[in-house]
Amino acid sequence: MHLSAKFALLLASISVSIASPIHDAALGKPAPLVTSALEHEIPNNYIVVFKKHVDDASATGHHSWVADLHETSISSLRKRSQIPLIRGEVDLSSSVDVNINSLTGLKHTYNISGSLLGYSGAFDESVVEQIRNHPDVAYVEKDTKVYALADPVTEHSAPWGLARISHQESLNFGSYNKYIHQAHGGQGVDVYVIDTGTNIDHNDFEGRAHWGKTIPAGDEDVDGNGHGTHCSGTIAGKKYGVAKKANVYAVKVLRSNGSGTMSDVVKGVEYAAESHVKKAAAAAARKDKNFKGSAANMSLGGGKSSALDQAVNGAVMLGLNFAVAAGNDNADAWPISPTTENVLIFSPLA
């Protein structure tokens, strides 16, 4: 099935249900094992999340069950490490001992009321398989490392707008031209600018701008208006960009006169979502930690469109985050699509 067909099926299902990682124990399917090729996984360490119906008493009983499983598994591993070798066999006892030392069992239990009920720990694969097949388990996630953020850098003589967004307090004579940000901000992130196109050859993009797709029939792969280039520069330009290391992908849905059709905009959203899914899958397959995800920018306005709302919601469910404009018409944003949906709304003039 083509990605476009999958995307259409996803959109059709949004009004009926929301996808979740919960498995069907009645069908004998184990709970999903959620992994991340983009993070540093910790071997044999897992986070287990219960289904919504599980109460505190059931969780406590489950914890005891897991503790017993773990002790049985450790005992079995220790016995295996003490079995005498037959001539010609390779001595694996040292590696088994290392594994035993790292398998510490139950580590944390979680109970955030109404949100998260579960636990974490270090378990042997055989224990994890039994956990995944327990009817109370929604999913099992591999634990990953977390790092402190690098110290920010300061861009001096920055435009007022950049300085303003990096300071919580009002600007003064000491801060009015200082943009505080991460030197690698946006690196590894793809931003789909759904607009009039982008001048991808502009020096300010340093080779990080690319042409994605032109949607309007018969239109050229150029930004004949300038609005899309302006937005792309605000997002990722070297001088005026917020995320100065992000990659920009031009998705042209508006013609050179700055106008277009809602059907073209919806198609542009579909393209961005499909492109993100392909890149994320490819990055996961090759364990590419340089790909950090995708976002989409829609600094455009129109009327209310259920189709656009549904398309954006579907794209968000696929992992594509959206930022959209609001307030340009000096009116409430709620009747304009997709500003009422699962997006990040920004209000400065765009």
For residues 227 and 135, membership in a common domain is answered with: no
Q: Kindly state whether residue 53 falls inside one of the protein's structural domains.
A: yes
Q: Is the pLDDT of residue 345 over 60?
A: no
Q: Which residue type, as a one-letter code, is found at position 55? A: D
**Per-residue confidence band for 19, with pLDDT thresholds at 50, 70 and 90:** very low
- Contact (CB, 8 A) for 143 and 46: yes
- Contact (CB, 8 A) for 342 and 323: no
Question: What integer is the mean pLDDT of 154-163?
Answer: 67
Q: Kindly state whether residue 177 falls inside one of the protein's structural domains.
A: yes
Question: What integer is the mean pLDDT of 16-34?
Answer: 59
In the chain, % of residues over pLDDT 90: 35
Structurally, the chain folds into a number of domains equal to: 3
Query: Final residue of a domain: which of 136, 160, 183?
Result: 183
Lowest-pLDDT range of 29-33, 114-118, 330-334, 343-347: 343-347
Q: What is the pLDDT of residue 329?
A: 61
For residues 339 and 231, membership in a common domain is answered with: yes
For residues 205 and 164, membership in a common domain is answered with: no
For residues 214 and 175, membership in a common domain is answered with: no
Q: Kindly state whether residue 96 falls inside one of the protein's structural domains.
A: yes
For residues 300 and 157, membership in a common domain is answered with: no
Q: Kindly state whether residue 240 falls inside one of the protein's structural domains.
A: yes
For residues 329 and 191, membership in a common domain is answered with: yes
CA–CA distance, 33 with 49 (Å, rounded to integer):
11
Question: Looking at residue 26, what DSSP letter applies?
Answer: G
Q: Kindly state whether residue 139 falls inside one of the protein's structural domains.
A: yes
For residues 64 and 136, membership in a common domain is answered with: yes
For residues 199 and 342, membership in a common domain is answered with: yes
Question: What integer is the mean pLDDT of 284-289?
Answer: 91
144 or 63: which leads in pLDDT: 63
For residues 161 and 283, membership in a common domain is answered with: no
Tell me the residue ranges of DSSP E strands in 127-246: 137-144, 153-155, 179-181, 189-195, 209-214
For residues 169 and 109, membership in a common domain is answered with: no
Structural domain of 57: 29-144
Q: Which residue has the tokens 């594509």?
A: 320
Q: For the sheet containing 320-325, what is the strand order?
A: 209-214, 247-252, 189-195, 293-298, 320-325, 344-346
- Predicted confidence (pLDDT) per residue in 26-58, tens digit: 556 899 998 764 456 778 888 898 999 999 999
Q: Which residue type, as a one-letter code, is found at position 27? A: L
Q: Is the pLDDT of residue 295 over 60?
A: yes
For residues 314 and 217, membership in a common domain is answered with: yes
Q: Which two tokens stand for residue 120?
A: 């974490």
Looking at every residue in the chain, the average pLDDT score rounds to: 78
For residues 273 and 286, membership in a common domain is answered with: yes
